[in-house]
Amino acid sequence: MFIPSYPTPHINAKPGDFADTVLMPGDPLRAKWIAETFLCNAVPVNNVRGVQGYTGSYRGSRVSVMASGMGMPSMGIYAYELFTTFGVKRILRVGSAGGISDKVAVRDLVIAQGACTNSNFMSQYHLNGTFAPIANFSLLQKAAAVCEEKGIAFAVGNLLSSDTFYNDDEDRPAYDTSVGMWGKMGVLAVEMEAAALYATAARTGREALAICTISDHLVTGEALDAAARQESFSEMIETALETALRQEDAQ
């Protein structure tokens, strides 16, 4: 039986410091921006290794935000500790992704129904097969409803959580690279954390959802400038917060 011990090696917080819902961008400075921009009365609850975490409120409901860092190993560490030690019920990843399908364009949100991966992360579970990590359906359904009501362009489908950002096949046409091959299977976009979050949530019996903004498109070469990226990220954060609020109201 897992017995919580405070603080953990990576989170210097106390019982009750985190809300039931945690938004997780990759970037610690984006966590700070979310706390200062969208939450009321946000207070810092973690800063180990510069990974900033805050707890405040959104429309009267308690919400936390903390960075995950880059990559599946980092996400796996923070998600596991938040779920098992700090009693967090749900984590919503909010981040950027690169489009690899003609079904998405820059500025669109991708609500990740599932998360494929080229990582060896799943081998730890000793399964005689391939584990397909998926989102919590209730969260996914609510996120799609929020987007529809607000008129935000979105797509629901698979992400690819990649272990690499720089690939050795980058001199080949985008549609013919190892990432591009996933696009041929209907995967919408590539990022680096969602599969670890979904697997950790499955193992711990918690809820997870990844909502990503298409900040650039690996096939068309389009990319958002700084101003457009910030505006699109705001839509993503508001969608995640509204989704979390509706989930809490329903439980």
Give the residue carrying structure tokens 């917080």.
Answer: 13
Tell me the β-bridge partners of 72. Answer: none
Neighbours of 173 (CB within 10 A): 9
How do residues 175-227 score in pLDDT, each as one tens digit? 556 777 899 999 999 999 999 999 999 999 999 999 999 999 988 999 988 77
Supply the DSSP symbol for 152: -
Retrieve residue 62's tokens. Answer: 């308690």
How do residues 73-119 score in pLDDT, each as one tens digit? 999 999 999 999 999 999 999 999 999 999 999 999 999 999 999 99
| Residue 26, pLDDT above cutoff 80 | yes
Candidate list 20, 27, 163, 216, residue with the active-site label: 216
pLDDT of 3 reads 64
What are the CA-CA distances from residue 195 to residues 46, 112, 157 (Å)? Answer: 24, 10, 13
- CA dihedral sign, ordered 2, 46, 64, 226: negative
Average pLDDT in the 35-56 region?
96
How do residues 141-181 score in pLDDT, each as one tens digit? 999 999 999 999 999 999 999 998 887 776 665 555 677 78
Whether 225 is catalytic: no
| Residue 48, pLDDT above cutoff 80 | yes
Retrieve residue 121's tokens. Answer: 């992360």
Alpha-carbon gap, residue 156 to 169, rounded angstroms: 28
Question: What is the average pLDDT value for the chain, to the nearest integer?
Answer: 93
Average pLDDT in the 69-76 region?
97
| Residue 40, pLDDT above cutoff 90 | yes
